[in-house]
Chain A
Amino acid sequence: MSIRKDNDAHERARKLIVLGRSDELSVADERSSDERSTNAWLAAHLESCASCRVFAENAAETIRGLRAIPIAAERSLVSMTQMRVRQRALELQLQRERMWLVAISCTAVTFCGLLSTIALWRGFAWLGERAQLAPSVWQVGFLIFCVTPALVAGVLLLASGTHFDRHFDTNLADQIGSYRG
């Protein structure tokens, strides 16, 4: 029982030495009163315990040694970092400006699209009325008119893709042929 108590005392003393008494106490309000008694306890313990005294001296020396190791950033590293940061800041600024432009363009396109859809709808309705067509007929016409450009573009893109693939395959075949031959 007594040995265990002694071990606890050494452990406590060493933790106080390493972590500092104010950090060892977690509740701020307790600090002022407990700090004094903890301090006194530690001083008394160190006076009576040679191994903890040696530990305290070694810990202080290690901490001094740790603080004494010089690691400094070189000037070139700092300048290079500052330059890279400025460059990146510029890129981000340009990117933000571009995003603004894209956002404005998108808004404008949406607005124009909305206006032209309304105008076209009315135009188709007027034409349907003039030609005495049933509403479903001119409405289908309107739909076809709207979808056709996208369909044509899609077909053209697909066709050009197929052409590109064929071209690529021919080139590849040529190359393989040249390696073989």
Chain B
Amino acid sequence: MTEESTEIARGLRRRDPDLLDRLIEQYQHRLLRYLVYLTGRRELAEDLFQETWIRVLERGHQFNDKYTFSTWLFAVARNLAIDHMRRRQPASLDGLLNGGETSFDVPATGQASAFDTTLQHEQNEHISAGMQHLPAEYREALVLRFQEGMSLEEIASVANVPLGTVKSRIYRGLSALEPWLKGASL
């Protein structure tokens, strides 16, 4: 892991385009998924996806190979998302949720056929709907924990909050999501 991080750090300092191509391929789904959940809008998430990689190119020399690349990448994406929201309206990450025009289009376009099983389909829809009603901080914590499989320490590093806050966000987020599992329309 450290060796890989060192190699990535060296490549980023050189601004090696081949390395960046490889990283974009490698992290494409994970980064987009994170941004979709964070922003709640696929279109915005796609814009931020591109901006994130450009920022990675420009600020690559700041990557510290003591950490995993994904942690740094998600932190960069998160900062860009917050910057974007601040430009639009001076608000915290909550603004991502309470923006009024927010529509939580989580299911990927062109990927709908993946929902073959009706039960699975329904459950996913319920969970997606539940996620829509969660504060952005909770969504972020849940995605990083259960979809990205990050450790609590890594999530704390990405979100720049204490470990206790991460634990409470995951716990509260998952608890808030529980009623949605059964299809409740809160």
Q: How far is the CA of A78 from the CA of B24 in the complex (A)?
A: 7
Produce 1/0 per residue, A2-23, CB < 8 A to B.
0000000000001100110001
Which residues on A sit within 8 Å (CB–CB) of B114? 70
Tell whether, in the assembled complex, residue B142 and residue A19 are in contact, meaning their CB atoms are under 8 Å apart: no
Produce 1/0 per residue, A64-96, CB < 8 A to B.
011111111110011011101110110011000
- Chain A interface, DSSP helix/strand/loop, else mixed: helix
Chain B CB within 8 A of A127 CB: no
Tell whether, in the assembled complex, residue B17 and residue A85 are in contact, meaning their CB atoms are under 8 Å apart: yes
Tell whether, in the assembled complex, residue B167 and residue A15 are in contact, meaning their CB atoms are under 8 Å apart: yes
Which residues on A sit within 8 Å (CB–CB) of B50? 77, 80-81, 84
Tell whether, in the assembled complex, residue B20 and residue A85 are in contact, meaning their CB atoms are under 8 Å apart: yes
Name which residue of chain B comes closest to A84, CB basis: B50
Chain B CB within 8 A of A106 CB: no
Tell whether, in the assembled complex, residue B20 and residue A69 are in contact, meaning their CB atoms are under 8 Å apart: no
Pick from B28, B107, B146: contact of A73, CB below 8 A: B28
Which residues on B sit within 8 Å (CB–CB) of A14? 171, 175
Chain B CB within 10 A, most for which of A18, A65, A67, A84: A65
The 7 closest A-B pairs by CB, nearest first: A73-B28, A71-B33, A65-B127, A73-B32, A70-B114, A66-B146, A81-B50
Cross-chain pairs A/B with CB under 8 angstroms, 12 sampled: A19-B152, A19-B170, A58-B181, A69-B106, A71-B106, A73-B29, A73-B31, A74-B110, A78-B25, A84-B54, A85-B20, A88-B57
